[in-house]
Chain A
Amino acid sequence: MRYLTRRVAFLIGTLWVALTFNFLIPRMMPGSPAETMIANFHGKGQINPNALHAIQIMLGISTAPLWKQYLQYWGQVLQFKFGISYTYFPYTVTHMIAQALPYTLILVGACTVISFVLGTSLGIAAAWWRGGRFDATATTALNFSSAFPYFWFALFAAYWVSFRFHWLPLSGAFSSSISPMFNWTFVSSALRHAILPALTIVISSMGGWLLGMRNNMISTLREDYIVLAEAKGLRASWIAFRYAARNAILPNITGFAMALGFVVSGSLVMETVFAYPGIGYLLVNAVGNEDYPLMQGVFLIIVLAVVMANFVVDLLYVFIDPRVSNEGRV
C-alpha cells in the first residue's frame, strides 16, 4: 500500500511539472501566431494593427499577464479544452486531436504490439539456441534491418512498393475517393493503406526487442538457478519459459509499456513519409504553423500517455517481480 501511495504521489508530481513546461515552452518561442497567420493569408505586406488585433481576439490569444494565463491554462487542461486551432480554423484543438488519434492508436499501437511479440519471441528462441543457425540468421538479419535509418527505409519502401510497382497505396489513411464511415469499403481501404507503414515500422523496430530479449536471456541462462533447474531434471521447455524467459523478460516489459505510452505521439517520420493523418502528422503541421493551442493539446496527451504508461509499469512490476515491493517481508 505504501508503494502505491508513493507511486501516485510521484505520478501527480510528474504531471504537474510536465504540464507546466507544456504551458511555458510555446510562450518562450519567438514569433507570433497571428503574424504567421496573416502572412499565410495575404502573403507579404504591411499588417494593419487593427486587423492584427481582430485576429488575436478571433483566435483567443490572451494578452493577460503570464500568471493569469497559467491559471486559465489549468482550467483548460482540466476540461480538455484547448481553444481553436490556428491552422485548422475554425476547428477546435480537441476536434483535431479526436480525429487524428484513432489512426495513430490503431496503426502504431498494433505495430508496437506485433513488433514486441514477434521480436521478443524470436529473442527467446535465439537465446535458447544461442550460437546456432537460427540465432545467427535471425539476429543478424534483424540487426541489419534495424540499423538503417527509418526515414530512408520508409522512403525506399514507399518508392519501390507503391510508386514503382503500385502494389500498395502510396499515402494517406484511406482512399481519397471515399469518406470515413464505418463500412467495409472504408475499412478495407484503411487496411490496405496501413499495410506498408505497418510493415516498415515492424521491420525496423523488431530488432530492438529481439536483441534486448536475447541478451537478457543469455545472461539469465548463466545463472545458478538455471543450472539447478537443469540438474533438477525439469523439462527443457519448462526451463526455457518458466525459468529463463520469465526472468529475462522484465526489462523488455518495461520497454514495452514505455513504447505503448509513446504510441500516442504517433510515429512522426512514418506519418510524414506516408502522409498518414495521425497525431505525429498533426504535430508536425502544428509546429510548422506555430499553432500553439494545437501543439499544447498534442503535447498534453503525449505527456499524459507516457506518464500513465510509466505508472502502469510501476504497478505491473509488483505482480511480475515480487522483489519490487519489499513489504512482503515475513
Chain B
Amino acid sequence: MGTPLLDVHNLTVVYGRTDGVYAVRDVNLTLHHGEFLGLVGESGCGKSTLAYAIARLIKPPAHIAQGTVTFREHNLLGLHGEALRHERWEHLAVVLQSGMNALNPLMTIERQFFDVMSQHTRWPMSKQRERVYELLEMVHVERRFASCYPHQLSGGMKQRVAIALSMILEPELIIMDEPTTALDVVVQRTILDNLMEIRKAREFAVIFVSHDLGLVLEIADRVAVMYAGEIVEAQPAEQLYAQPLHPYTRALLKSVADPDDIRERRFSGLPGHPPDLHLDSIGPGCPFYPRCTEHEDRCRNEKPTLSPMGPESVVSCWIRRKEPVDA
C-alpha cells in the first residue's frame, strides 16, 4: 500500500483544562490514498471532534492534548501561518455538517468559489469562472445558480454546492462531517450517488463522519467505529457487516434497517447511555462495559487496547481477543 496519506497517532483532544472532557482519547488511524473511510458512532462519541482535530479546526476551549497527525508525510499539527493556509483546501478540504450554514449568506455562490481560487492560485478570471461552472455541473446544480445567494437555494442544493466547493483545488483528502444528516432520505440518496459517481472519475480520500452505520457500510471502503472517544473497531466495510467484532458494533448493526433482509434480522436498540467523558468519571476498565452483554470480570478493571484480529481488522475487546481468529 505504500506510505499512508494520513497517519493519526495517539491523538487526544480535551475540552477545557487537563481535567476536562476527553472527547477523543488515544486515537490511532491510518488512511491510504484514495481510501473512503467511514467514521461512525453515536452522538457525543467524539467523531466530529476527531475530524475537526485532523482538519486543524479545533477551537478553544478544546485543544489537542497529545498525539501527532502526519499528513502527506509531514506533521500537520506543526504547520502555522502561510504553510498551514496553503495546506488547507489545496490538499485537505472539509464539508461541514450543515451545508446550509456553511455558506456565507451575504456572498453569491460563485464569489465563495472565487475567493478560494484567487487566494490559492493564479488562475485568470475566465478560468475561475469556467471552473465554477464545471464544479456545479459535476454536482448537478445549474449554472444560473452561480450568481445567486445561498438563501435562494434549497438545502440539498446548498449541500451539493458545499461538496463542489471542497473539490475546487482537487485535494487529496476531503473530510465530510455528517454531510447529509440534515437532509431527507431522498435528497441524501441523490447526493451520495453523486458523490460515488464523482469518486469514480477522480481519486481522493474521504473521511466520512456519520452516525448512520447502514449508510456508511454502503459507501465506505473501510469503517471505523468510535465509542466514548476511542476507536473500538475498524474493518473493511463488507467484513464489518458480515462479521462485526466489538459488542458495540454488533449492537449498532442490530439497529440498522436493511430493506433486503428486514425479515431475517431482528431489530433491537442498545439500552443505556454513552459514558461521561470527564477525566474523573472515566473508569479503569472498558468504557463499554456497563452496556455490554458479553462482559466478564476483567472488562471492569482492565482497559482493552486496539489489537489486530486479522490482516485488516482491529478491535479493542477482551472477549473477542480470546476467540480464535477465523481463517
Residues of chain A at the chain B interface (Cβ within 8 Å): 223-225, 227-235, 238, 242-243, 246-247, 320-323, 328-330
Q: Say yes or no: B148 contacts A330, CB within 8 Å.
A: yes
Q: Say yes or no: A228 contacts B94, CB within 8 Å.
A: yes
Chain A residue nearest to B144 (CB atoms) is A330
Q: B110-125: which residues lie under 8 A (CB-CB) from chain A?
A: 115-116, 119-120
Q: Which of A227, A242, A243, A329 lies in contact with B96, CB distance below 8 A?
A: A227
Q: Say yes or no: A233 contacts B145, CB within 8 Å.
A: no
Chain A residue nearest to B153 (CB atoms) is A330
Q: Say yes or no: B96 contacts A233, CB within 8 Å.
A: no
Rounded to whole angstroms, the CA-CA distance of A234 and B116 in the bound complex is 7
- Chain B, 117-156, contact with A by CB distance < 8 Å: what is the 0/1 string? 0011000000000000000000000001100110110000
Q: Say yes or no: B145 contacts A330, CB within 8 Å.
A: yes
The secondary-structure label for the interface of chain A is helix
Task: Point out which of A232, A322, A323 has the most chain B C-beta atoms below 10 A from its C-beta.
Answer: A232
Binds A, one of B100-108, B245-253, B312-320: B100-108
Q: Say yes or no: A328 contacts B94, CB within 8 Å.
A: no
Chain A residues lying within 8 Å of B116, measured Cβ to Cβ, are: 232-234
Subset of 15 A-B contacts with CB under 8 Å = A225-B104, A225-B105, A228-B102, A230-B88, A231-B55, A232-B89, A233-B85, A320-B106, A321-B106, A322-B105, A322-B106, A322-B151, A330-B144, A330-B145, A330-B148
Residue B57 is within 8 A (CB to CB) of chain A in the complex: yes
Q: Say yes or no: B106 contacts A233, CB within 8 Å.
A: no
Q: Say yes or no: A233 contacts B101, CB within 8 Å.
A: no
Task: Give 7 A-B pairs besides A231-B57, A322-B149 with Cβ atoms closer than 8 angstroms.
Answer: A224-B101, A228-B96, A228-B103, A229-B104, A232-B115, A242-B115, A323-B149
Q: Say yes or no: A233 contacts B115, CB within 8 Å.
A: no
Rounded to whole angstroms, the CA-CA distance of A321 and B107 in the bound complex is 9
Q: Which of B87, B94, B119 lies in contact with A234, CB distance below 8 A?
A: B119
Q: Which of B84, B102, B119, B148 lies in contact with A238, CB distance below 8 A?
A: B119
Q: Say yes or no: A329 contacts B57, CB within 8 Å.
A: no
Chain B residues lying within 8 Å of A322, measured Cβ to Cβ, are: 105-106, 149, 151
B60 smallest CB distance to A (angstroms): 9
Chain A residues lying within 8 Å of B102, measured Cβ to Cβ, are: 224-225, 227-228
Rounded to whole angstroms, the CA-CA distance of A229 and B120 in the bound complex is 13
Rounded to whole angstroms, the CA-CA distance of A238 and B107 in the bound complex is 13
Q: Which 9 A-B pairs have the closest CB atoms?
A: A233-B88, A224-B101, A233-B89, A233-B85, A322-B149, A225-B104, A228-B102, A224-B102, A231-B94
A318 smallest CB distance to B (angstroms): 12
Rounded to whole angstroms, the CA-CA distance of A161 and B60 in the bound complex is 46
Residues of chain B at the chain A interface (Cβ within 8 Å): 55, 57, 84-90, 93-94, 96-98, 101-107, 115-116, 119-120, 144-145, 148-149, 151-152, 162, 165
Rounded to whole angstroms, the CA-CA distance of A168 and B165 in the bound complex is 59
Chain A residue nearest to B97 (CB atoms) is A224
Q: Would A225 and B103 be within 8 Å (CB), given that A232-B115, A235-B85 are in contact?
A: yes
Q: Would A232 and B96 be within 8 Å (CB), given that A246-B106, A330-B152 are in contact?
A: no
Q: Say yes or no: B104 contacts A328, CB within 8 Å.
A: no
Chain A residue nearest to B100 (CB atoms) is A224
Chain A residues lying within 8 Å of B93, measured Cβ to Cβ, are: 231-232
Rounded to whole angstroms, the CA-CA distance of A321 and B120 in the bound complex is 28
Rounded to whole angstroms, the CA-CA distance of A323 and B55 in the bound complex is 31
Q: Say yes or no: A225 contacts B101, CB within 8 Å.
A: yes
Rounded to whole angstroms, the CA-CA distance of A94 and B259 in the bound complex is 83
Rounded to whole angstroms, the CA-CA distance of A69 and B92 in the bound complex is 75
Q: Say yes or no: B105 contacts A247, CB within 8 Å.
A: yes
Task: Point out which of B101, B144, B165 has the most chain A C-beta atoms below 10 A from its C-beta.
Answer: B101
Q: Say yes or no: B101 contacts A328, CB within 8 Å.
A: no
Rounded to whole angstroms, the CA-CA distance of A246 and B111 in the bound complex is 14
Task: Point out which of A227, A242, A321, A328 has the most chain B C-beta atoms below 10 A from its C-beta.
Answer: A227
Q: Say yes or no: B119 contacts A243, CB within 8 Å.
A: no
Q: Which of A227, A238, A243, A328 lies in contact with B57, CB distance below 8 A?
A: A227
Q: Say yes or no: A323 contacts B57, CB within 8 Å.
A: no
Q: Say yes or no: A233 contacts B90, CB within 8 Å.
A: yes
A327 smallest CB distance to B (angstroms): 10
Chain B residue nearest to A224 (CB atoms) is B101
Rounded to whole angstroms, the CA-CA distance of A224 and B107 in the bound complex is 14
Q: Which of A230, A233, A323, A328 lies in contact with B120, CB distance below 8 A?
A: A233
Q: Which of B86, B88, B98, B105 lies in contact with A323, CB distance below 8 A?
A: B105
B82 smallest CB distance to A (angstroms): 9
